Each structure stands twice: as C-alpha cells, then as structure tokens.
A and B are shown apart, each in its own frame.
Chain A
Amino acid sequence: MNSLPCIVVLYNPDDGTCVWQKLTNQTIERTRGGEGKGFFVKVPLNQVFLDAASNEKLLAFTSLPEHIVNYNFLLSQKKFMQIIQNGGVVKLHSSEWVNKSCGRGDTELIVDDGNGVEKYAYPYWFPHTPYTMVFPRLFPWADFAADEDFFEDEDKECWQDYNCFYDKKEDKWLVVGDSFEEFRKKLNPMRSINHSGEVAEYMMILSLNDLGRAFLAVDEFVSKNQPYSDVRPRIGVEIIYEKDKIK
C-alpha cells in the first residue's frame, strides 16, 4: 500500500462534475463477493470534487508520515535559513497580548537579504502558550538574540535603575555595579518591551542552530542527483551493480 494518500476522481464531461473516493483498505473491494481476482471502488455521487464538505474530508485524509510533515515544515522556512547562511539578517518581530489566554498577537519575520527588506507574516494565535515557548517551536532551526538597537533605550533605563546611583553631594551619577555592556550580557535574549502591562513586544535576530545547519546540509545533498541512490540493502544476496540496472 502506498504511504501517500490516494483518491480516484471520476469526471462527467456532459455536466462537468467530478466525484471522488479515497483508495484505502476499507473502500477497495474484491469482485464476486470477495472471491474474485479483480477490485472495485464505490464512488458516492454526492461526494463532489471539490465542494466544502469534500474539501474538509480530503484535508482530514492527508495522513502523511510524521517525517514528511516535519520536513515540509522546515522546507517552508528554508529560504530564511539560506539568507542567514549567506550573511543576510532575519528578525522576528512579535507582539503578544499577555493577558489573553487565546494567545492573541502578531508575528512576522523581517528579512533583509542584502537586496531589500521584506516582511513575512505568521497570522496565527497560540492559545495557552507563552510566546517565549512558541518561538523555538515555530522556528526550531534558530537561536534567538535580542535586537540590541531596538532595546537600547529600554536597556539603558533598566541599567541606570539597577547599577547607577545619583550622589546628591557630588552631584553626579556613580556606576555602582556592572557596566552597561556587562549588564546587557546578563539580560534575557528573549526579552520584551512591556506596553502598559497588556502587550509584550519582541524583536529578535535569528541565527542558525545545529538543526538549521544540519537541515541545510541535508537539503543540499538531497537536492542533487546522487550516484547509487537506487541501491537498497538486502540480506544474503550478492548484487553486481551496473549503471542503470541491477543484476
């Protein structure tokens, strides 16, 4: 049985309609009451290709293997990984409504590939999950670092609050703790700006992690024509390989 989902679609040229049916162990039947050598499939006339009801059924039928689903997911973000690998900049900008359990917010990637800047929206909400947990799942190939330019003023204010003391007698500011640079190194790379206690705004620069680098390496390999790609292991059989055929 093919691991990919298969359907049969019948077209009526008289009225232009199409009807369809899944091809599964359940829908494919043997002829002659199960004793025959042939097979048939009953196609419901009310299962029209492609009305809303059929669309829903078809989407539920896409039982692709997990590794194909996940590979396709990474493939959809390959462009961003390549841009980073080639020296471009990919930023994650997101606003999270922190008091909403529905996970309301806005998320986009701001991509500068050296030729211009483009934005890619991810118009999704993420219920019951803090965005700091969402980001590594949404972009599992990336490491995250706060955009220091974006957070400059906020970080400076915070640094002054915790590491500077105003000496009234001397009428000057004293640095009583870390320098600004030392202070910044200790900050959470996945920090946000708090807007009135309702919205947390993130701006992070993405870089490739081990998964990202490995995916690009694998993708480069599988995208090329490779010798012996039709070779498979067999037990107890001596195989002489000749180009274009196996004996």
Chain B
Amino acid sequence: MKKIKLSECIDSRLSNDGYELDPTEKYVVDIESEIEFQAAIMMSFQVMGPPPAIKNYHAWLFENGFNVDAPNPTNEFVAPYYGVKPLWKTAYSQGIVIKAENDDDYFIVMECSRENRGYKYTKVILTPGGCM
C-alpha cells in the first residue's frame, strides 16, 4: 500500500496517458487531512462550474445502474478495482479506487487530465463519506 496526499504532486513523471495516479497501486490517504482541500475544490465547482471530467463520473454511475442525482456506489462494487484497474478512463479523467487509513470503506477519486481548464491534474474525492 502507498500513502499519498491528493493535494500534492504525487509523481512529477506523468504516465504515458497523462495521469499521475496508477490504477494498479493500492493508495491510502488520511481523509481528515484531505477534507480542507476537497472542500475548496467543491466550492470551486460551485463558483466556477465543474470540469468536463465530472461527466465521466455521471456516465459511469448511469452505466452501472447507480443513481446519478444521489450517487450511491457501493463498496462491494468498487472493491475489485482497488489496486487493479480504473473504474473509468477517458481523455478527460480517470476514476481510481482508494482507501482511507484505519477505515474499511473505499473512496472514488477522479483525477482530471490536462484537458480540464482550471482543474488540470486535480484529484477530487467524489465520495467524501466513503462508498455505501
């Protein structure tokens, strides 16, 4: 397992497909220390508007039978992707499953690509309370 801080640059060397996070890594974060930065991102979404990448998350929810208006992805569904492969990957974003320290819940992180003006390489925790 690899502990990371989403608000910092994880690896200056980008992968071939332009992302910092590696879906085959089992990432762990300290959720308490991430809250402030994530709250700032959410505020930015409301003020500036969300990035195009958010559509990829909505599409993933829709295709997998989850509620788009009240997202309800489950731990059971995302667990097989942890450290294996991304939930989704497009030119605009990839969805990665991570875990919190000392917690059984999984979290979905969306890493925005450079195509998202104002949000390049931003990593957003889409399920701040953990998956269901």
Contact = CB atoms under 8 A, between A and B. Distances in A.
The A contact surface, by secondary structure, is mixed
B52 interface: yes
Given A163-B55, A186-B63, A177 B117 contact: no
A168 B117 CA distance: 12
Nearest to A158: B62
B59 A162 contact: yes
A138 interface: no
Interface string B27-60: 0000000000000000000000100110110110
A148 interface: no
Interface residues of A, number: 14
A164 B58 CA distance: 11
A176 B63 contact: no
Contacts of B58: 161-162
The B contact surface, by secondary structure, is loop
A169 B49 CA distance: 12
A224 B1 CA distance: 70
Interface in A81-108: none
B92 interface: yes
Which has the most chain A C-beta neighbours within 10 Å: B53, B58, B59, B90?
B59
Contacts of A186: 63
A177 B88 CA distance: 10
Interface of B: 49, 52-53, 55-56, 58-59, 62-63, 68, 90-92, 115, 117
Given A162-B58, A162-B62, A174-B52, 17 more contacts: A158-B62, A162-B68, A165-B52, A165-B55, A167-B52, A168-B49, A169-B117, A176-B53, A176-B55, A176-B90, A176-B91, A176-B92, A176-B115, A177-B55, A177-B56, A177-B92, A178-B59
